[in-house]
C-alpha cells in the first residue's frame, strides 16, 4: 500500500471512529458496541495518555508518521484540529477544538450510559 493510500485510509478510519463515537448510541442495534467503542477511546486518551500525553490516539500517531514521510511537518496534536483547519482553511484555536472534542465526547458517553443502563428495553 502506498503512503498516500495509507494516509487516506487513516483519515477514513478517523472519520468513521469519530462518527461512531458521536452517534452510534442513537441506534439500538449499536448501543452496546458504542459503549465499548467510547470506553476504548477513553482508555487510549487516559491510560495510554499516562505515557504519551493525555488525549493520545494511536491512529493519529500512525497517521502523523505517514504524513511526515510524505513531507508534512508541524502537525498538531489532534486529528480533529488538523482536519478542522483543512476543511475551514483557517487556524482554529487548539484549546477550542480540544474543548469541543471533549465536550461532545462526554455528551455522547453520557447518552450511551443512560440508554444502556437506565432505559428499560422493550421488545
In percent, how much of the chain has pLDDT > 90? Answer: 95
Comparing 27 with 120, the larger pLDDT belongs to: 27
SS3 54: coil
Rounded CA gap, 22 and 77, in Å?
A: 20
Mean pLDDT confidence for 17-38: 97
Q: How many CB atoms lie within 10 A of CB 79?
A: 23
User: pLDDT tier at 94 (50, 70, 90 boundaries)?
Assistant: very high
Question: Phi then psi for 11, rounded to 5 degrees?
Answer: -65, -45
Query: Is the pLDDT at 30 greater than 80, yes or no?
Result: yes
Percentage of the chain exceeding pLDDT 70: 98
**Cβ atoms within 10 A of the Cβ of 12, count?**
10
Rounded to an integer, what distance in angstroms lies between the CA atom of residue 16 and that of residue 41? 13
Per-residue pLDDT tens digits for 37-74? 999 999 999 999 999 999 999 999 999 999 999 999 99
Domain ranges for the chain, please list them: 3-117
Please state the rounded mean pLDDT for residues 4-33. Answer: 97
CA dist 85 to 68, 79, 102, 115, Å? 18, 10, 18, 34
- How confident is the prediction for the chain on average, in pLDDT? 95
Check residue 1 and give its pLDDT.
78
Mean pLDDT for the stretch of residues 71-96:
97
pLDDT in the model for residue 123: 56
Amino acid at each position: 500500500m502506498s503512503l498516500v493510500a495509507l494516509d487516506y485510509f487513516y483519515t477514513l478510519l478517523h472519520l468513521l471512529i469519530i462518527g461512531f463515537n458521536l452517534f452510534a448510541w442513537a441506534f439500538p442495534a449499536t448501543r452496546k458496541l458504542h459503549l465499548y467503542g467510547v470506553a476504548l477511546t477513553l482508555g487510549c486518551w487516559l491510560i495510554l495518555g499516562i505515557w504519551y500525553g493525555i488525549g493520545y490516539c494511536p491512529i493519529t500517531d500512525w497517521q502523523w508518521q505517514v504524513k511526515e514521510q510524505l513531507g508534512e511537518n508541524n502537525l498538531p496534536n489532534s486529528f480533529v484540529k488538523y482536519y478542522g483547519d483543512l476543511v475551514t482553511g483557517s487556524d482554529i484555536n487548539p484549546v477550542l477544538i480540544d474543548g469541543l472534542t471533549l465536550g461532545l465526547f462526554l455528551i455522547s458517553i453520557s447518552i450511551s450510559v443512560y440508554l444502556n443502563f437506565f432505559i428499560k428495553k422493550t421488545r
